[in-house]
C-alpha cells in the first residue's frame, strides 16, 4: 500500500494522534524517573492498527510499503513527545516482519499475529559489546531441543518484552536466531543503565541453560545474514522517526524565539538567530530528502538487502544532522534549552544514542568508503 505524503500525515493524525498525545503527556516525568512507556499503550496502539500498518495481510496488516511506513514513523516522531515510543514500536514491527518473512505458519500465528495486535511485545536481544563474529552466547543441541546460555547487555524495550529474538553461536561457530519467552526458566531480565533511552525499558538479559524447543529456532544457519538484513532495514527506520523529532525540535525552537524579546527586539528578528534557524531548516529538509530516497530504494528492490549504501548513508546523515540541529537550538535558546524545557535534553540524550544504533557511525563510514571504492564515484 502506498499513500501520498500529505495523506500519510493526515492518516497518522486521525488514527493515532490522540493516543500519541496521551503517550507524550507524561513523558517528561517518566523520563526523569526512568519509567518505561506503559505496556497498555502498545496494546491500545495495536487495537488501533498501528503495529499492523506495515505488516502483510497474513497478520491482518495493511501492507504499507517502506515509503508509506517511513513517512508514518516520521509523523509519529513529530507528534509523540516521548522519544522512546517510535523506537520501541518500530522494533516490534521489525521483528514481526522477520517472522512473517519465514513463511512458518506456527511462528506467524503464535508470535507475529499477537505482535501486530500489541498483545505480545518482542525485543531484539542482540548486543553483547562485541562484533557479529565474536558473540559469546551459545545455542547447543540437547536431544530434540536446544539449550541457550549467555548474556545480552543492552536491549531496547527489554523490560517490556514478552519474548526475545536473540542470536547465538552454534557448535560450528555459525550464528543462529531463536525466540525465547521472557518467562522461561533460566531467563533473567534486569534494568540496564544508560545516558539516554530512559523510557524505552532498556534491559540486560542473562540466559542460563534455557530450553529452546526446535520450533522456536527461526534461523538454524547463516544467522549473520539474517541479522544484517534486520540491521539494514533498521537504519531506514531510525532515520525516519528521527527526522520527525527534528521537525518538532525546529518548530518548538522557532516558537520560543518568536515569543522571546531581548533589548526590545524579538530574538527571531536578529540576523544571527535567523541564520541559525536557517541552518536547522537545511538540516531537517536535507535529512528528509535522503530518507525518502532510501525508502524508495527499498521499495524498488534496488538496494543491497544486507548493507545498502544509501540506507546506511541516510542513517549516518540524519544522526549527524540531529546533533547539528540540537547544537544550534542550544546556542540560540541558551538557558531555556538547558534547563527551561526538558524536551531538549531528552532529545539530546536520544540523539547521542543514535551514534551507536544499527551500526556505529565510524563503522558505517568505513563500510561506505569500501562501497565507494568498489563502485566508483557513485556507491549507490
**Interatomic CA distance for residues 108 and 102, integer angstroms:** 8
The cell for 302 is: 534496488
**Interatomic CA distance for residues 239 and 68, integer angstroms:** 14
DSSP letters for 123-183: EEE---SS-GGG---EEEEETTEEEEEEEEEEETTTTT-SEEEEEEE-TTS-EEEEEEETT
Which residues does residue 125 pair with via DSSP β-bridges, in sequence order? 166
The whole-number pLDDT of residue 73 equals: 98
Task: Give 27's contacts (C-beta < 8 A, 6+ positions apart).
Answer: 81, 82, 83, 199, 343, 346
Closest CA to 291 of 322, 314, 321: 314
Exposed, middle or buried by CB within 10 Å (0-12, 13-18, 19+), for 17? middle
212 and 178 Cβ atoms separated by less than 8 Å: yes
Q: What is the per-residue pLDDT across 189-225, written as a single tens digit (0 to 9) for each?
A: 999 988 888 999 999 999 999 999 999 999 877 788 8
pTM: 0.93
The cell for 361 is: 557511525
**% of the chain exceeding 70 in pLDDT:** 96
Tell me the pairing of strands 217-219 and 163-169: unpaired
* Average pLDDT score over residue span 329-349: 94
In this prediction, residue 376 has a pLDDT band, given cuts at 50, 70 and 90, of low
The whole-number pLDDT of residue 356 equals: 87
- pLDDT exceeds cutoff 70 at 379: no
* Average pLDDT score over residue span 316-324: 97
Q: What is the per-residue pLDDT across 45-66, written as a single tens digit (0 to 9) for each?
A: 999 999 999 999 989 899 999 9
Quote the mean pLDDT of the chain: 92
The whole-number pLDDT of residue 215 equals: 93
Q: What is the per-residue pLDDT across 134-189, written as a single tens digit (0 to 9) for each?
A: 678 999 998 899 999 999 988 999 999 999 999 999 888 788 999 999 999 999 99
- What is the torsional sign of CA 113, 163, 94, 243? positive
Burial 128-141 (b: 16+ CB within 10 A, else e): beeeeeebebbbee
End-to-end C-alpha distance for the chain, whole angstroms: 25
Amino acid at each position: 500500500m502506498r499513500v501520498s505524503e500529505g495523506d500519510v500525515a493526515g492518516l497518522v493524525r486521525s488514527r493515532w494522534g490522540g493516543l500519541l498525545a496521551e503517550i507524550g503527556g507524561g513523558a517528561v516525568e517518566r523520563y526523569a524517573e526512568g519509567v518505561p512507556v506503559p505496556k497498555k499503550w502498545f496494546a491500545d496502539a495495536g487495537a488501533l492498527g498501528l503495529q499492523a500498518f506495515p505488516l502483510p495481510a497474513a497478520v491482518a496488516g495493511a501492507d504499507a510499503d517502506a515509503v508509506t511506513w517511513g513517512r508514518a514513523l516520521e509523523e509519529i516522531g513529530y507528534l509523540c513527545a516521548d522519544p522512546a515510543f517510535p523506537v520501541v514500536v518500530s522494533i516490534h514491527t521489525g521483528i514481526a516482519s522477520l517472522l512473517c518473512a519465514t513463511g512458518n505458519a506456527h511462528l506467524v500465528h503464535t508470535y507475529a499475529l499477537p505482535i501486530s495486535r500489541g498483545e505480545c511485545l518482542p525485543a531484539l536481544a542482540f548486543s553483547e559489546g562485541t562484533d557479529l563474529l565474536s558473540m559469546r552466547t551459545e545455542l547447543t543441541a540437547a536431544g530434540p531441543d536446544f539449550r541457550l546460555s549467555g548474556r545480552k547487555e543492552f536491549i531496547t524495550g527489554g523490560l517490556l518484552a514478552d519474548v526475545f529474538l536473540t542470536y547465538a553461536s552454534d557448535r560450528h561457530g555459525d550464528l543462529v536466531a531463536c525466540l525465547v519467552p521472557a518467562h522461561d526458566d533460566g531467563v533473567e531480565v534486569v534494568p540496564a543503565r544508560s545516558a539516554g533511552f530512559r523510557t524505552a525499558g532498556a534491559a540486560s538479559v542473562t540466559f542460563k541453560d534455557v530450553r529452546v524447543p526446535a520450533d522456536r529456532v527461526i534461523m538454524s544457519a547463516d544467522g549473520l545474514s539474517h541479522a544484517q538484513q534486520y540491521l539494514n532495514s533498521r537504519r531506514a527506520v531510525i532515520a525516519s522517526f528521527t527526522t520527525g523529532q527534528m521537525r518538532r525540535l525546529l518548530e518548538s525552537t522557532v516558537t520560543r524565539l518568536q515569543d522571546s524579546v531581548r533589548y526590545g527586539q524579538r530574538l527571531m528578528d536578529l540576523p544571527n538567530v535567523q541564520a541559525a534557524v536557517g541552518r536547522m531548516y537545511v538540516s531537517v529538509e536535507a535529512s528528509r530528502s535522503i530518507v525518502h530516497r532510501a525508502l524508495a530504494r527499498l521499495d524498488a528492490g534496488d538496494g543491497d538487502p544486507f548493507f545498502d549504501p544509501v540506507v546506511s548513508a541516510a542513517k549516518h546523515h540524519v544522526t549527524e544532522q540531529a546533533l547539528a540541529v540540537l547544537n544550534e537550538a542550544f546556542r540560540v535558546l541558551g538557558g531555556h534549552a538547558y534547563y527551561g524545557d526538558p524536551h531538549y535534553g531528552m532529545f539530546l540524550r536520544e540523539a547521542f544514542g543514535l551514534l551507536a544504533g544499527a551500526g556505529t557511525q565510524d563503522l558505517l563510514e568505513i563500510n561506505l568508503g569500501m562501497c565507494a571504492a568498489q563502485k566508483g564515484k557513485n556507491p549507490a
